[in-house]
Amino acid sequence: MSIDLKSINATLEIPQENSTTPVKPEEAKTIYDFITEKGIERTLEIGFAYGRSASHIMAATGKPHIALDPFQDYYKNLGAKNIEKLGFKDQLELIRDFSHNVLPRFVSEKRKFDFIFIDGDHKFDGIFVDFYYADLLIDKGGFLLFHDTWMRSTELVLQFIRKNRKDYKEIPLANPNMVMMEKIAEDDPRDGMHFREFYNTRTLLRHHATMHMYENPNGLLRKAWLGVKKMIGK
Ligand SMILES: C[S@@+](CC[C@H](N)C(=O)[O-])C[C@H]1O[C@@H](n2cnc3c(N)ncnc32)[C@H](O)[C@@H]1O
């Protein structure tokens, strides 16, 4: 079946003021292409919002997909409505609950997935807990995708994995704001004493500059940034 991603994006209703909440259309296309190319079937995502990533995942697999998100009411159920409009309703199991409640249950039920998209709570501890459980829900050959890698919280979780989890390998993606990790070993090889320092400075400046501009929309830094963007035609 050939899927027209443009018409999926045109059908998705996403309020202008929240247009930066979902992955960008080009990131959604990367997710679609990756899943299609790998023939991935069992998918889970943490953070559903308006259903952009979910719709692309389901378009790629043609199989059931599970999405966790406790705040669909905040989004006026638009995500669920979008999925219905796109004809993916029967493929989607939307669990309106926090990942910290659902993921441990899935682990105890011995559920397994081939691909998990971590895009829910973006605080360090939230992402770290999602990674901890997601790791237990995939086998060797499974994939974990992280979004918003510009954020210091996400970068530090990724850096923990790079330094401490030699059973993961980073898969290069064209999109700078996403990182894909493949699990490359059946077992975590660390012993109980293992610890490698993972603090780094990458993203430190970018994160603090972005947060400053976000908190001071009329500040000098944002004005200068907008000026540079205009100058280089972005
Ligand atoms: C960035 S949005 C997800 C966007 C979506 N992946 C897409 O690209 O279309 C983050 C979502 O995570 C949800 N969220 C926040 N904390 C969560 C948690 N602890 N468990 C599950 N979802 C959570 C929020 O309600 C929000 O809808």
Give yes or no for residue 155 CB within 6 A of ligand 1.
no
Binning pLDDT at 50, 70 and 90, where does residue 50 land?
A: very high
| Domain co-membership, 105 together with 208 | no
Q: Please state the domain count of the chain.
A: 2
Q: Is the dihedral of CA 95, 101, 102, 105 positive or negative?
A: negative
| Domain co-membership, 29 together with 143 | yes
Give yes or no for residue 49 CB within 6 A of ligand 1.
yes
Across the range 63-78, mean pLDDT stands at 97
Report helix, strand or coil for 143. strand
Give yes or no for residue 80 CB within 6 A of ligand 1.
no
Mean pLDDT (the chain, rounded): 96
Give yes or no for residue 103 CB within 6 A of ligand 1.
no
**Residues spanned by the domain of 211:** 203-234
Q: What is the CATH number of the domain that holds 188?
A: 3.40.50.150
Paired residues of 44 in beta bridges: 66, 116
On whether the CB atoms of residues 144 and 179 are closer than 8 A, the answer is: no
Q: What is the pTM of this model?
A: 0.95
The encoded tokens of residue 10 equal 């045109």
| Domain co-membership, 142 together with 185 | yes
| Domain co-membership, 21 together with 52 | yes
Counting Cα atoms < 13 Å in the Cβ hemisphere of 178 gives 24
Ligand 1 atom nearest to CA at 148: 1
| Domain co-membership, 152 together with 230 | no
Give yes or no for residue 50 CB within 6 A of ligand 1.
yes
Burial of 215: CB neighbours in 10 Å, binned 0-12, 13-18, 19+: exposed
| Domain co-membership, 139 together with 24 | yes
| Domain co-membership, 187 together with 217 | no
- Interval 126-183: pLDDT, tens: 999 999 999 999 999 999 999 999 999 999 999 999 999 999 999 999 999 999 999 9
Report how far ligand 1's centroid is from the alpha carbon of 92 (Å). Answer: 16
| Domain co-membership, 218 together with 148 | no
Give yes or no for residue 165 CB within 6 A of ligand 1.
no
| Domain co-membership, 154 together with 218 | no
Total Cβ atoms within 10 A of residue 109: 9
| Domain co-membership, 109 together with 44 | yes
| Domain co-membership, 18 together with 73 | yes
Give yes or no for residue 71 CB within 6 A of ligand 1.
yes
| Domain co-membership, 140 together with 55 | yes
Give yes or no for residue 27 CB within 6 A of ligand 1.
no
Consecutive H or E run containing 205: helix 204-215
Pocket test for ligand 1, best of 50, 102, 119 (most atoms within 8 A of CB): 119
